Structure 1
Amino acid sequence: MTREKRTRDKRQKELPKPSARQPRLTLRRNAKMARSAHAYVRGNTAKFYEWLDGIDGHALPEGPAIWICGDCHTGNLGPVADAQGRVEIQIRDLDQTVIGNPAHDLIRLGLSLATAARGSDLPGVTTLRMMEALADGYERAFDEVAGDADIRAEKPEAVRVVMKEAVRRSWRHLAEERIDDLEPTIPLGARFWPLAQRERREIAALFEKGSLARLATELRGAGDDADVEVLDAAYWVKGCSSLGRLRYAVLLDIDGAALDGDDLCLIDIKEAAQAAAPRYPGARMPRDNAARVVEGARHLSPSLGERMRAARLGERPVVLRELLPQDMKLTIEQLTRDEAMKAARFLALVVGHAHARQMDRAERRAWLGELRRNRSKTLDAPGWLWTSIVELVSSHEAGYLEHCRRYALESETKKA
């Protein structure tokens, strides 16, 4: 036995058993959220809506009843490929999607950008200008006269870099990141944990259903009668707000060609929980949470929605998505003043297009008119947007510091 194999075996023995996952996941989530105020905002969707609901002194406009992301922070946008391999920046996480108020997405994105600016030690005036750029980019998606070519040409550097990398990525890049090069397996370690036998049986049973097996075969042009075999699966320790829910990585072989590498398929299975984002009263949505997520994705991010399926694993609703090499996370941590403006304007345009495609012309005009009302001489953005951002940044800063205090006490107690 080689030293490398002994080290790997020892590391795998230290991984938690399925029955002992939750405490480890809770610790990891707390640690991730304590890294920065920006990370805390990303991991605290429920608190966002609690704080937003409790804000007094101003009222939010009620936009058209459309599918919204519900958790529209910067980490939930990024390159997404469609079935033909075309890549665009779109919303890439729809766990919280509901038919609701589009203003909520705009505020959530603004809060995320504002905390990123504070983490980059940018002055408050820059945050003010970012919110103006945010409003400008979002409004252009609804303005038939303004167009958006100039904004698309001003992509922030973080977007340019990730787009270039996404376009040139192939299956080999995905395989090198996720699976063992020598064998078609998912390597257990910090990111992937072992499964219980029951979980393996339930996952294998999923892909015996033709409708779910076709999720893997359709993108490869394989026929409906192509064989789909589960080669390996593991619990996936991924995300922040989703830590603690069911999450699996599944490696499939299409038509027995695993040794060629061309017909391997990596599937992400994610539990769909109740959305924290409020829906409009009377809005008709699928009652099943997995079906809700897939339906929202098809409206907001068509490239992603066509590659997703709703199912049930045991008694829980789950969403299945094939991972493509081009699907990447957009990370915006350190910003210069110029990059902050570009990021706010460009990402708001992306969200604006996701909203606008669901509205007819009359709804777009009415919503644009509402967005442009009540501007002041000192702020070229909706007053309700700025007031919400100011109060939410303050609330999140206090919540973040309190989280760090509790997390530090938990860590010291466990060490003792």
Structure 2
Amino acid sequence: MNDTANWEGRAHAGITIKDRRAAGKALRARTPRDALARWKPDPGRTDPLDILRAADATRRPDLLALRYGRMLASPFTFYRGSAGVMAADIGRSATSGLRVQACGDCHLLNFGGFATPERRIVMDINDLDETLPAPWEWDVQRLAASLVLAARSLGHSEQAARDAVEASVRSYRERMRAFSQTDVLDIWYARVDDSIAEQMLPPERREAFRKRIEKATRQNSSELVLPKLVDGFDTGEASIRDTPPTIFHVGDVATKDHLRRMQGPLAAYRETLAEDRRRLFDRFTLVDVAIKVVGIGSVGTNCFIGLFMSMAGKPLFLQMKEANVSVLEPFAGRSIYKNHGERVVQGLRMVQPATDIFLGWSRGEEGRQFYFRQLRDVKLRPLLESFDLETFRNYGILCGWALARAHAKSGDPWMISGYLGKGEEFDAAVARFAVTYADLAERDHAKLKAAVRAGHIPVQMES
């Protein structure tokens, strides 16, 4: 158990912020801050392809080739699809012993913009399929290594990659210290909004960013995606458009039969909503369901999109995404939730500054566990391929800011800040780790390429 778990109940028992910082600083004696710089892969390390194949057992066989095709594209895409491999690599390494509600797959493309219920745009972690209480260092390490791999994929120098990591970790450390000096309510309400993100951009990029925000917020999310996803809307016979291999209906099952089979899971999902959200949900009717392939790490898990219509003829798209055991669980302990969909939902509520009003969970056929949320609720993904070096570095700084807020909200910012201190020793240690791990990920990607060439792993490439 971590000290954070006991801190809440002792908050008014004479323990001061100074005490908490001192306790965090004392942890350096057990785990020095430069310990990460000395990290090396275990000589008896499990073959990464074996870890990936083991995870395939819970995935749809017809989508595995597409999953490996996406991972094959580059070392960075391999890294994005192999959170389980990294968890096995660092899951037994030395940490401070302090835990937070960890993201579990904290690479830089798992951050992005989305709308709050008040329709404000914020930037934060937006994918928490692997979330679990775990050491805060694991998220920092995964973010840092992703920065190195992404920098290499963009053609930036090794020094630029290392500088970007140090800037991101410095942002995390300094923001954590700021949170340790503020009131707990201020931590809870803190957020990286679009105005903060805009100020981090070079002046020549700000106008384009504002236009993206305006376009994303001009209409609701369902209206934005409607022309791309729906056939027959004008005729009153709306259905989700098949665009294989990423969106398709399930086999030859008749639509009416499939919709009938969804009623039980939907009823169970409804019970996980707050009463006011149930009233809102009841005003929509499910008219179609299809499979939608998302991301890289999630390819092969059952992910459905449901098209719902209101009485006024307005659409609502809900994503119903399968939730399996977190890749962190073998190293951080079992989830307290019986349904992994609830694990994800509660993690989202704990980590994000604001969450989707339709968040909930349910069970499907064969006991599969799912969580629900809106599809593309005014989401803005980072256009990484267009980033120059300054934008890339500043984006990493924003990620460090958002990660510190998430960890401060769910963990103990006083002890974490005390452990980190004011100097740059931890920043440099993480940068050294990030380069070491990025090199390892590149070797793992090469193993995948060799397995594909040898015909051991089939792949499906997309145009």
Aligned 1:141-220 pairs, distance under 5 A: 141-144=175-178, 152=197, 153-155=199-201, 160=209, 163-170=213-220, 171-180=222-231, 181-182=233-234, 183-190=237-244, 191-196=246-251, 197=253, 199-208=258-267, 211=270
User: Given that residues 329 and 335 in structure 2 are in contact (C-alpha distance below 8 angstroms), is that contact kept between their aligned partners in structure 1?
Assistant: no
Superposition RMSD in Å: 3.3
Which one-letter code corresponds to 1:42 in the other structure? R
Which one-letter code corresponds to 1:98 in the other structure? L
- DSSP 3-state at the match of 2:384: coil
Deviations 1:322-343 (A, max 9, x none): 2254124334235422122201
Q: Does 2:355 match 1:320?
A: no
Q: Structure 1 residue 84: deviation in Å?
A: 2.3
Find the partner of 1:61 among 96, 104, 109. Answer: 96
Find the partner of 2:437 among 386, 392, 396. Answer: 392
Cα distance in 1 for partners of 2:102, 2:438 equals: 22
Deviations 1:94-122 (A, max 9, x none): 11000111111111111111111001111
Corresponding residue of 1:8: none
Find the partner of 1:244 among 294, 300, 307. Answer: 300
User: Given that residues 133 and 332 in structure 2 are in contact (C-alpha distance below 8 angstroms), is that contact kept between their aligned partners in structure 1?
Assistant: no
User: Given that residues 186 and 232 in structure 1 are in contact (C-alpha distance below 8 angstroms), is that contact kept between their aligned partners in structure 2?
Assistant: yes
Cα distance in 2 for partners of 1:332, 1:369 equals: 34
Larger mean Cα displacement after TM superposition, 390-399 or 271-280: 271-280
Deviations 1:375-407 (A, max 9, x none): 45xxxx434412321221111000111112222
Aligned-pair identity in percent equals: 19
Q: Does 2:439 match 1:405?
A: no
Deviations 1:336-375 (A, max 9, x none): 221222011111101111111224xxx3232123223774
Q: Structure 1 residue 66: deviation in Å?
A: 1.8
Corresponding residue of 1:98: 132
Q: Structure 1 residue 305: deviation in Å?
A: 5.3
Q: Does 2:424 match 1:368?
A: no
Q: Does 2:75 match 1:37?
A: yes
User: Given that residues 268 and 362 in structure 2 are in contact (C-alpha distance below 8 angstroms), is that contact kept between their aligned partners in structure 1?
Assistant: no
Larger mean Cα displacement after TM superposition, 27-36 or 306-315: 306-315
Larger mean Cα displacement after TM superposition, 394-403 or 191-200: 191-200
Q: Structure 1 residue 151: deviation in Å?
A: 6.5
Change (3 A) 1:210 1:372: closer
Change (3 A) 1:74 1:225: closer
Cα distance in 1 for partners of 2:353, 2:103 equals: 13
Q: What runs of 5+ residues in structure 2 fail to find an aligned partner?
A: 1-58, 183-189
Q: Does 2:327 match 1:276?
A: yes
Change (3 A) 1:328 1:299: same
Q: Does 2:384 match 1:332?
A: yes
User: Given that residues 372 and 382 in structure 1 are in contact (C-alpha distance below 8 angstroms), is that contact kept between their aligned partners in structure 2?
Assistant: no
User: Given that residues 274 and 289 in structure 1 are in contact (C-alpha distance below 8 angstroms), is that contact kept between their aligned partners in structure 2?
Assistant: yes
Corresponding residue of 2:159: 125
Change (3 A) 1:227 1:41: same
Larger mean Cα displacement after TM superposition, 300-309 or 278-287: 278-287
Q: Does 2:148 match 1:114?
A: yes
User: Given that residues 66 and 358 in structure 1 are in contact (C-alpha distance below 8 angstroms), is that contact kept between their aligned partners in structure 2?
Assistant: yes
Change (3 A) 1:367 1:323: same
Corresponding residue of 1:9: none
Which one-letter code corresponds to 2:445 in the other structure? Y
Cα distance in 2 for partners of 1:251, 1:164 equals: 25
User: Given that residues 207 and 213 in structure 1 are in contact (C-alpha distance below 8 angstroms), is that contact kept between their aligned partners in structure 2?
Assistant: no
Q: Structure 1 residue 89: deviation in Å?
A: 0.9
Change (3 A) 1:124 1:209: closer
Change (3 A) 1:281 1:71: closer
Larger mean Cα displacement after TM superposition, 133-142 or 151-160: 151-160
Q: Structure 1 residue 155: deviation in Å?
A: 4.2
Cα distance in 2 for partners of 1:90, 1:375 equals: 25
Cα distance in 1 for partners of 2:78, 2:161 equals: 18
Q: Does 2:96 match 1:51?
A: no
Change (3 A) 1:176 1:267: same
Corresponding residue of 2:10: none
Change (3 A) 1:104 1:333: farther
Which one-letter code corresponds to 2:168 in the other structure? L
Q: Structure 1 residue 136: deviation in Å?
A: 1.9
Cα distance in 2 for partners of 1:34, 1:121 equals: 18
**Which consecutive aligned stretches of 4+ in structure 1 deviate over 6 angstroms post-superposition?**
145-151, 411-415
Q: What runs of 5+ residues in structure 1 fail to find an aligned partner?
A: 1-20
Deviations 1:221-257 (A, max 9, x none): x946944321111111222111111110101123x33
Deviations 1:259-297 (A, max 9, x none): xxx3x2101001110000248767873232111111101
- DSSP 3-state at the match of 2:176: coil
User: Given that residues 108 and 396 in structure 2 are in contact (C-alpha distance below 8 angstroms), is that contact kept between their aligned partners in structure 1?
Assistant: no
Larger mean Cα displacement after TM superposition, 312-321 or 333-342: 333-342
User: Given that residues 101 and 280 in structure 1 are in contact (C-alpha distance below 8 angstroms), is that contact kept between their aligned partners in structure 2?
Assistant: no
Change (3 A) 1:127 1:230: same
User: Given that residues 169 and 427 in structure 2 are in contact (C-alpha distance below 8 angstroms), is that contact kept between their aligned partners in structure 1?
Assistant: yes
User: Given that residues 65 and 458 in structure 2 are in contact (C-alpha distance below 8 angstroms), is that contact kept between their aligned partners in structure 1?
Assistant: no
Change (3 A) 1:389 1:27: same
Corresponding residue of 1:257: 312
Q: Does 2:339 match 1:288?
A: yes
Cα distance in 1 for partners of 2:140, 2:374 equals: 28
Q: Structure 1 residue 139: deviation in Å?
A: 1.9
Change (3 A) 1:168 1:364: same
- DSSP 3-state at the match of 1:304: coil
Q: How many residues align?
A: 376
Which one-letter code corresponds to 2:448 in the other structure? H
Q: Structure 1 residue 54: deviation in Å?
A: 7.0
- DSSP 3-state at the match of 2:227: helix
Cα distance in 2 for partners of 1:96, 1:214 equals: 22
Corresponding residue of 2:397: 345
